Structure 1
């Protein structure tokens, strides 16, 4: 009479599987990741995931066409100066132009939780006020470490922009 070995191997597999599963129950659960700094997380406004709210702004080509080169230079000097001021105040954590972005020209990420607060800051940008750019606002959930970006950037920036 021919007996199948399948039931034996099935039992062996189940026994091995349960032995593996029980070994995982003995692994301690880490409450926090290695290197977690509670004080820093609190200072940066981080939630339990190290994240926080920002406002992401996309600057697009606006309706204004300014042909006077001196006037345009003056507006952009104010644009760069304004970004520098907002960054120094800790309100602007990231800004930059898009490369080959078409009508989308650049972005701002503001250290603000509401779109209204970001709108108030963008209204101080001479290029937006002049109509060279328009702004589109979106709430953004990202790493709270972004607020430290400007401190790091100052250490690696050799030449002033604008």
Structure 2
């Protein structure tokens, strides 16, 4: 429980201290040269979403390979742009016999990977679950394809070490709506 609270505290600190202004131009170091073409996507910054019309945003996202559709609320007649995101479930992997030092090192590398995904704009939110189930946490990827989300999720050092496995699902959400 102590480790879970520490992990959650670190994750919150990392996510709240990230600068949403400029995104790094490089891809994760752990990604191979063959995989780099998947990452060459010009991400739309959240600040710019508010200044574009739904039509402009829709056209921009479609041109970058995203799946989107418009939803009109029958009661308010407001139009909401829906976008397909990808949720990666991080589940217990088959290799969980690392000693404490190795597990701590993997956890540090895991947090660095998730921070990089957030800073580059590929992941919008990540976090652990607060129970002892096989599903340890989630990351929501804001990328155009399942292949790209899967590639990014599988670049996680915890996954590479076999401590976690990934299960990715497409998920629709309103573009630009904040959590509350």
* TM-score computed with the length of structure 1 as normaliser: 0.62
Q: Deviations over 1:59-117 (max 9, x none)?
A: 11111123321111111101000000010000001111111151111001101232111
Please show how residues 42-121 of structure 1 align to structure 2 within 5 Å: 42=57, 45=61, 47-48=69-70, 49-121=80-152
Give unmatched runs, 5+ long, in structure 2: 1-49, 62-67, 71-79
Tell me what 2:28 maps to.
Answer: none
**Aligned equivalents of 2:131 and 2:168: distance in 1?**
21
Task: Provide the residue aligned with 2:52 in structure 1.
Answer: 39
* Aligned residues of 2:154 and 2:166 also touching (Cα < 8 A): no
- Number of residue pairs the alignment of both structures matches: 113
Q: CA RMSD in A?
A: 2.5
Cα separation, 1, equivalents of 2:163 and 2:53: 39
Following TM superposition, the consecutive aligned residue runs of length 4 or more in structure 1 with deviations greater than 6 angstroms are none
SS class of match (2:52) = helix
Instruction: Give unmatched runs, 5+ long, in structure 1.
Output: 1-36, 150-162
Question: For the residues of structure 1 that align with 2:102 and 2:142, how far apart are their CA atoms?
Answer: 30
Per-residue deviation, 1:50: 2.2
Q: 1:83 to 1:40 in 2, by over 3 A?
A: farther
- Compare CA radii of gyration and give the structure with the larger one: 1
CA contact 2:124–2:141 (8 Å) conserved in 1? yes
Contact 1:56–1:139 under 8 Å retained in 2: yes
